[in-house]
Every structure is written in C-alpha cells, then in structure tokens.
Amino acid sequence: MKISAFATILVGFSSSLSIGNGFMIQQPSSPSFKTTTTSLYDIVSPFDDANTANKESVATTFAEGGAAVSGSDDDDDQPLDLTWENVDMVLEEMRPYLIQDGGNVAIDEIDGPVVRLQLQGACGTCPSSTQTMKMGLERRLREKIPEIQEVVQAMPEGPPLEDEQIEIVLDGVRPFLQVAGGSIDIDRVEGVGGLQPTIWLAMEGASASLHSVKLEIAQRLQRHFMMSGLRIAWVGDDEDDF
C-alpha cells in the first residue's frame, strides 16, 4: 500500500512516522514530547485490483526538510504580510512533498483574506484533497501569514450534475455489486445549482451495509463531477452521508 509523503504535513513533520492501520508519532530527543497513537481512516477500495489486503508499516524519517517546514528557526516565527510572493514562498516549502506524490499546487486567486489554490496533477483528483488543503496547506499558510482567514480549493469545471452522468459512474461499480447480489440506483438529485447539491442513492444487497463500499462510490462521484459542496446521501442510512 502506497503511503503519501505529504502525510508528513498532516501530522506535523515529526522526526519519526510509522503508518499502517494507525500512525505513531515519536520524537525521542524531546523529553516533553508525548507519544500519540491515532487511527487512520484507511479504506482499501473493493473495486481496485491494484489494492491488496496486506497492510504495510512504513517508517519515514525527516531531517532538514521537515525541520525547515516545522518552523523551528527563529526567522520562521516572524509573521508575513499577505502578498502573492509570500504565499508562494510558503507553498514552496511544501511543494517537494506534493511533487513526490505526482502533484503540485499553484495560487489561483487572492481575494482579500481568502486564498484560492489549485491542486494539480495527482493531488487534484485525490480523494484526500480536502484534507491536503485544510490540514496541510491552509494550516501552514495561516501560521505564517495570520491575515489569511481561509484557504479554498479552486475546482475545475466538471460535467453537469444530471442522471446520465451519475449513471456513467454507477455503471462502473454495478458489476462488482452484482457479484454479491447487490444493486444500486439513483433515488433523486436535490439542490442542483445550490451550495450543497445532493445525490441520493439506494443500494441493496450485502454491500449496502459496508461503509468502505459507500465511501468508494461517493469518492468516484465526487472525482467525476469535481463540484465543491457535492454531497452523497443514502436512502435509509443517514450515518453514511459523504
């Protein structure tokens, strides 16, 4: 299982990082540092032949690169003004980790205290792009440039939100559901053109109770439409809305 190098940003650039079913951050050099174990939201797609059931433990050690971003230098404690050049300078610290995963980031627009970024390459279509944006890029930018109130993702324009386009995605997963005697259909689409459009789906069979299957389908729909605020809901199951 591939472990994203950019996960180092999300967990704060610890000196030692081990990732498997959970991750452990450990920094023996600091006596006041507490060891923390947290469960990762680790889903293996039931539809991707490339995934295996083996869970690997990966240990990565960051030295100069991690220290540079962690803000340990005295100069890093000085707040920066909100300018295009300063935003790009902070992003430059994190680009190597995005590039290592086949992605990149660019400034799309600065509108007052709101910075709009464009995730490029593999990062633009990654299901974890929201976490990358909020927990990684936004956190670091706001630490360095306090004037920033929010960092949002510039979303490319996708296909129209209509039944025909939804069926294209569902047709890609139906053969796998049918093997287990299941099915999936569109129940309704609400809020088209609004701030939070919602696709309601009805799924039957053994797979209907599997959170990982629902998550996979939701992520495929969100990647297909590339629509900010798109919500995937399930008839009869309010707990698994995405």
CB 133 within 8 A of CB 148: no
Question: By C-alpha distance, which of 129, 71, 128, 78 is closest to 105?
Answer: 129
- CA triplet 104, 26, 65: central angle to 5 degrees? 35
Max Cα separation, the chain? Answer: 61
pLDDT at position 187 is 97
Predicted pLDDT at 225: 87
Q: Enter the pTM of the model.
A: 0.45
* Nearest residue to 210 (alpha-carbon basis) of 188, 185, 239, 171: 239
104: β partners = 120
CB 177 within 8 A of CB 183: yes
Q: What is the pLDDT of residue 193?
A: 85
Identify the pLDDT of residue 76.
59
For every one of its 242 residues, what pLDDT tens digit does the chain have, with 9 covering 90 and above? 444 544 444 444 444 443 343 333 344 444 444 444 333 344 344 444 444 333 333 223 223 344 334 444 545 578 999 999 999 999 999 999 889 888 889 999 999 999 999 888 777 666 667 777 878 899 999 999 999 999 988 877 789 999 999 999 999 999 999 998 899 999 999 999 888 899 999 999 988 888 999 999 998 998 888 787 889 999 987 666 77
